[in-house]
Chain A
């Protein structure tokens, strides 16, 4: 049975249901137990399982280190980074440990951990609470980066992330927490490493993730009125990317617009663009367009933050541009 629940409620439900099913799953992080998380995502877990929810000191390195060691022993930690920006503090544990433990142990053990990280801008919290960190981690073989864009995806992808034998960074965009969608009550999973064709189309392939999906869907409707047919692809797993689905789509449409919240330089938009040019250059009818943030930190003043983040008009403009070829 489905009913409409919020993105944050969906994550909370996934945690409850998966913890019910598997006693090796536990949560830890700053204020995740008694308080139920700074954003309320883990509420109720400590009450139900007082020995499976751990409030920690402000020690991201210790949190991630504990996850890695516990995972090698067979536990399945789900850690919360209150803001994805704090990855900077525990980068070593993600990059030099989590990502490499499977390699180091010849597949005998791995860091089966989930790091839930609250990502993205738009809440006027400036440059240390607003960043998109996926490019920081995309250069690290061994990691998996997952990014849901609605409550349905959030629940199913988190379940898959917890069951996935690799270290997964699970990106939760703070602006999505209150958005609602139809979500089944029962436990379900959504395959990782698989992009979703959200809407089929014939003229332009638009790749977007997380909050950018709203831009993509709105733009597709608006452009349809002009007779431009947009195919929307959501990678869901940002890394490793599902090359096949994206490339197949662009081979069909011949045009690519990638909408990405973070800065332009070396983001996943760049990677997707390179991937497409490398693979199916001959199918391209127009240059690739990237709609992204400016290459600056996220500022505080609302007018400035809005200016830096990708803007809807740019999405429309990019689509018009690729259609001129």
Chain B
């Protein structure tokens, strides 16, 4: 599906934003300003930007732990800087520094956050999908109309996550009850150091869905137009109560597993070959060759994104740390936990 000129421009900008966001995060992780583990998704921008673009703001998103892109794009513009300051462990962080890179969530934007345990959100997402299914079945307030579509839940998962038993339980239940879930399997080839062909018997992981009678697709995860097309179709099915879809996005992570991992386990030349298929380069080429944008127009877009990102970074660096004693807040909804 070819996107309109404006829409391709918009998602190209989204991808540039994620790329620059992640590069800055990488820089400050390397120099020690950002604590903890950082998992980057450079090279995978199309899958993240495309899924978010294809969904409504009211749909539920469960990003994976390489999900900065999906997180930032899900948040409204005024809160994107808070996504970055969260990664910097600051009080202004969207979760007041409580969660960090692996757990950034924004409930208002229906970004449900990730979880440090692979496969965990793959069952938690059953619940957000079940919510509208239940409300509609019981004709609850706001759901009396038979015409009202279900809210879609998109759960991001890596090729490694498919090894978790939760994936079976989740897909089995979602398929049986026709829950509105899109399983966005981002096949970036590696679970830490293990290539997916070394831990799964299937050549294409999407074929895994056949056993559950779940429509399954493998698409070029670096082609933003292909991503949006397949997710929009899956979302349409889900909204109408026709059940889940499994989509495997073939892509590649350029960095190691975490910031600082040299990724020596990859064969020579593999990264370079994938860099040739960079989703940004691919989209840029289309913008110029098909839609006639000029180099200057694209430079202006890059400059605009750059200014935005530098604004996030400045905001993050200048924000205060949270108070240590706030660590005891929100353990329970209705009772305090003693501090020191």
Contact = CB atoms under 8 A, between A and B. Distances in A.
Interface of A: 23, 26, 49, 51-52, 56-57, 59, 61-62, 64-75, 77, 92-93, 96-97, 102-110, 112, 141-142, 144, 164-166, 193, 240
A44 to B, nearest CB: 17
A66 B173 contact: yes
Nearest to B332: A166
B147 to A, nearest CB: 18
Contacts of A109: 107
Nearest to B131: A73
Contacts of B126: 62, 65-66, 69
B178 to A, nearest CB: 13
A108 B107 contact: yes
A62 B153 CA distance: 15
Contacts of B96: 106
B74 interface: no
B35 interface: no
A72 B95 CA distance: 16
A142 B116 CA distance: 17
A93, A104, A112, A144: residue with the most chain B Cβ atoms closer than 10 Å: A104
Contacts of A105: 95, 105, 107, 113, 330
B276 to A, nearest CB: 39
A66 B335 contact: no
Interface string B5-39: 00000000000000000000000000000000000
B123 A70 contact: no
Nearest to B136: A51
27 contacts: A57-B172, A59-B172, A61-B169, A62-B169, A65-B123, A65-B124, A65-B125, A65-B169, A66-B130, A69-B129, A69-B131, A69-B153, A70-B134, A71-B127, A74-B131, A97-B120, A102-B332, A102-B333, A104-B98, A104-B113, A105-B95, A105-B105, A105-B330, A106-B330, A107-B329, A141-B331, A166-B333
A71 B137 CA distance: 17
A74 B329 CA distance: 21
B113 A93 contact: no
A23 B140 contact: yes
B123 A165 contact: no
B142 to A, nearest CB: 11
A72 B112 contact: yes
B99 A104 contact: yes
B337 interface: yes
Nearest to A109: B107
Nearest to B155: A69
A107 B330 contact: yes
A57 B332 contact: no
A51 B137 contact: yes
Given A61-B165, A61-B166, A93 B120 contact: yes
B85 to A, nearest CB: 14
Nearest to B151: A73
Nearest to B114: A104
